[in-house]
Amino acid sequence: MAASVSIDPDYCIGSGDCVRVLPDAFELREDLGVSVPRAAAAETDVDLLVQVASACPTQAIRVVAADGTVLHRSNGG
Amino acid sequence: MADQADPARPGALPRSYATTVELSGYEEIREALFSPDLSRTFDTRSYAEGNIRDGIVSTAHGPMHRARRRVENTQFRPDKLRLYEQTLFPAVMADLLDVLLVGDEIDLYRIGEMLASVLASRRAGIDIREHDLDELTTIVEFVDIFSQGAAILDAKDPDAVRERVYAAYERFERDYIRPASERRQAMLDAHARGEIGADDLAHDILTALLQHRVDPSLELGDERRIVREVATYLQGGTHTNGQTVVNAADLLFAALPEQPGILDRVAQDLLFAQRVVHETLRLRPTTPKIRRRTVADTTIVGRSIPADALVVLDIVRGNQEPTLFGADPDRFDPDRTVRRDIPRWGLSFGAGSHICPGRSVAGGFPAPDGPSAAADHIYGLVPLMLQALVRRGIEPVPGRAQERDTRTERFTRWAHYWVRLGSPKGGSFAR
């Protein structure tokens, strides 16, 4: 199931935890000090995405299912 | 940049709390640590402006905290961890152990701190002579004072601690931060002129802070904040690693009657050594009780907590939740089965935005369930230290009492831990 993944740059602290667990779905932008989703994030297993989002230290990751259901809210909304 | 004991701003933070709430369940502690409504800036006597931890990342809250972590987390990337773990540390550790492991009674805590201080100094950004035992002793003395400051809320004589910390900041700034800053600023200037590349810059916290200090979101206008910040990373990377290697040895020695082969397993299997360290952290967290202040009315796992409440998080009890860690959660069992989404170290590195930035330096990446790890797995410096010490044959000194640090209420802190060298462990693996 395709998902929409976004990261709130105001909350992300660039811990890199998401990149370590799902390197195909996330990457670090060292010039900004934050993680960003890669295109492949949309095709990543949603359970894994939600697991990573739940472990994000600042809850910066938002995961929305293809049908619009919010599977994991970020601190930014 | 001399630090002054400025009085705390009157009324900046409450001197008393609306109420005190203690949380001891794993999930409620975890939710509390993730909550943006719980702050670490909570006590005028230690954390308000002008006090010993003013403006450092570990007591900041909100946008400045996140901005600082963004800059500092760049020093904890896997490529840097591997460089330290696979290249820099093993060589330094072997050299130092040759000269430190001598005599009939050896203080394991002192050795653990001295080993850890080498890389903690590099990562923090101060320049030391790494094979000079006198200099390492000086660094460890600084670390001891900064550690008392970090644990001031549990100090038995906080005024004495505060006085020692102020004096230490002055010496630390004069002898280490100022010369290190001048060298790093010269490199940054050369980089700005295009004379050297980014890879030629020092890779450490001090360089990162100097490079970004003009960014107002970091709030580094007061240079004393840089002194305190670098001191915090030096302290965090030294003291906790030294304490953890002692706690691991203590638990291993206690387990010997039931598991006589456990030291050989540590000597032969670095992945097992890593599980030993994770189990040690679970049972002996560096900070047994974490405190927070609510900055707004909030709810934690359905429990309403008013603003300005003191929230005490009992990490020891949370880490021994039977539903997560089994029917014998207080037993030292590095082989215990733990759910994949639960860290084997429990909540001992904290969680949420203040999670320990050096957790992967100390304990590596989460240990896989199977008998082996990927080739690029990061084991952590404490497992490396523990394995090296076990291979050389450390054992308790018969009849010699171990000494806890009685200056603090934290039961996981040691002042001295006496060992001697017995037979090397690990057969052909032993050096």
| B contact set with A (CB within 8 A) | 34, 36, 63, 66, 69-71, 73-74, 76-78, 341, 351-353, 355, 357, 365
Percent of chain B with pLDDT over 70: 93
| A contact set with B (CB within 8 A) | 10-16, 20, 28, 30, 32-34, 51, 55, 57-59, 75
Q: CA B243 to CA A31: how far, in whole Å?
A: 36
Percent of chain B with pLDDT over 90: 72
Contact check, Cβ <8 Å, B365/A20: yes
Query: Sign (positive/negative) of CA torsion B143, B146, B148, B154?
Result: negative
pLDDT single digits (tens) B192-210: 999 999 999 999 999 999 9
Task: Give residue A1's pLDDT.
Answer: 60
Query: Sign (positive/negative) of CA torsion B141, B146, B152, B154?
Result: negative
Task: Give residue B408's pLDDT.
Answer: 74
Is it the case that residue B50 has pLDDT exceeding 60?
A: no
Instruction: Supply the DSSP string of B339-367, one letter for each residue.
Output: -TTS-TTTTTT--GGGS-TTHHHHH-SPP
| Residues with Cβ within 8 Å of residue B389, at least 6 apart in sequence | B97, B101, B108, B111, B245, B249
Please provide the size of chain A in residues. Answer: 77
Task: Give residue B422's pLDDT.
Answer: 85
Is it the case that residue B45 has pLDDT exceeding 90?
A: no
Residue environment code for B78-106, b if the CB has 16+ CB neighbours within 10 A, otherwise e: eebbeebbeeebeebbeebbeebbeeeeb
Provide the token pair at B68.
């600082």
Task: Give residue B47's pLDDT.
Answer: 52
Q: Report the range of poorest mean pLDDT among A48-57, B48-57, B60-69.
A: B48-57
Q: Do the Cβ atoms of B288 and B15 come closer than 8 Å?
A: no
Mean pLDDT for the stretch of residues A10-16: 94
Is it the case that residue A28 has pLDDT exceeding 60?
A: yes
Whole-number average pLDDT of chain B: 90
Task: Give residue B431's pLDDT.
Answer: 42
Contact check, Cβ <8 Å, B36/A28: no
Task: Give residue B330's pLDDT.
Answer: 97
Task: Give residue B13's pLDDT.
Answer: 46
Nearest by CB to residue B70, choosing from A14, A55, A59, is A14
Contact check, Cβ <8 Å, A14/B74: yes
Is it the case that residue B43 has pLDDT exceeding 70?
A: no
Q: Which helix (H) or strand (E) holds B278?
A: helix B270-283
Amino acid at B287: T
Please provide the size of chain B in residues. Answer: 431
pLDDT grade, residue B5 (50/70/90)?
Answer: very low
Task: Give residue B391's pLDDT.
Answer: 96
Q: CA B324 to CA B270: how far, in whole Å?
A: 25
Task: Give residue B377's pLDDT.
Answer: 95
Q: Mutating which of A13, A27, A61, A72 best tests the B interface, going by the most B Cβ atoms within 10 A?
A: A13
Nearest by CB to residue A13, choosing from B34, B66, B78, is B66
Q: Is B161 exposed, middle or buried (0-12, 13-18, 19+ CB in 10 A)?
A: buried
pLDDT single digits (tens) B369-410: 888 999 999 999 999 999 999 999 999 999 999 988 887 777
Contact check, Cβ <8 Å, A20/B69: no
pTM here is 0.91
- To the nearest whole angstrom, how far is the Cα of B35 from the nearest Cα of chain A? 9
Q: In what order do the strands lie in the sheet with B38-39?
A: B20-23, B310-314, B289-294, B38-39
- B67: closest chain A residue by CA: A13
Q: Which residues of B touch A13 (CB under 8 A)?
A: 66, 69-70, 73, 353
pLDDT single digits (tens) B207-249: 999 999 999 999 998 899 999 999 999 999 999 999 999 999 9
Task: Give residue B155's pLDDT.
Answer: 79
Mean pLDDT for the stretch of residues B153-170: 87
Q: Which helix (H) or strand (E) holds B263?
A: helix B262-268
Mean pLDDT for the stretch of residues A43-55: 94
Nearest by CB to residue B73, choosing from A11, A15, A20, is A15
Contact check, Cβ <8 Å, A16/B34: no
Q: Which residues of A touch B351 (CB under 8 A)?
A: 57
Task: Give residue B146's pLDDT.
Answer: 93
Q: Do the Cβ atoms of B29 and B21 come closer than 8 Å?
A: no
| Residues with Cβ within 8 Å of residue B312, at least 6 apart in sequence | B20, B21, B22, B23, B289, B290, B291
Mean pLDDT for the stretch of residues A26-38: 95
Mean pLDDT for the stretch of residues B151-170: 86
Q: Which residues of B touch A76 (CB under 8 A)?
A: none
pLDDT grade, residue B1 (50/70/90)?
Answer: very low
pLDDT single digits (tens) B80-136: 899 989 988 998 999 999 999 988 899 999 999 999 999 899 999 999 999 899 999
C-alpha distances (whole Å) from B217 to each of A53, B32, B67, B210 are 25, 26, 6, 14
Is it the case that residue B12 has pLDDT exceeding 50?
A: no
Picking from B41, B55, B53, the residue whose alpha carbon sits closest to that of residue B12 is B41
Contact check, Cβ <8 Å, B353/A58: yes
Mean pLDDT for the stretch of residues A44-68: 94
Contact check, Cβ <8 Å, B341/A51: yes
Residue B160 has a CB neighbour count (10 Å cut-off) of 12
Is it the case that residue B11 has pLDDT exceeding 70?
A: no
Task: Give residue B71's pLDDT.
Answer: 96
C-alpha distances (whole Å) from A56 to each of A21, A25, B42, B220 are 11, 14, 24, 26
pLDDT single digits (tens) B314-372: 999 999 999 999 999 999 999 999 998 899 999 999 999 899 999 999 999 998 888 89
Is it the case that residue B264 has pLDDT exceeding 80?
A: yes
Q: CA B243 to CA B266: how far, in whole Å?
A: 18
Calculate the dihedral angle through the C-alpha atoms of B68, B208, B143, B390, rounding to the nearest 10 degrees.
Answer: 100
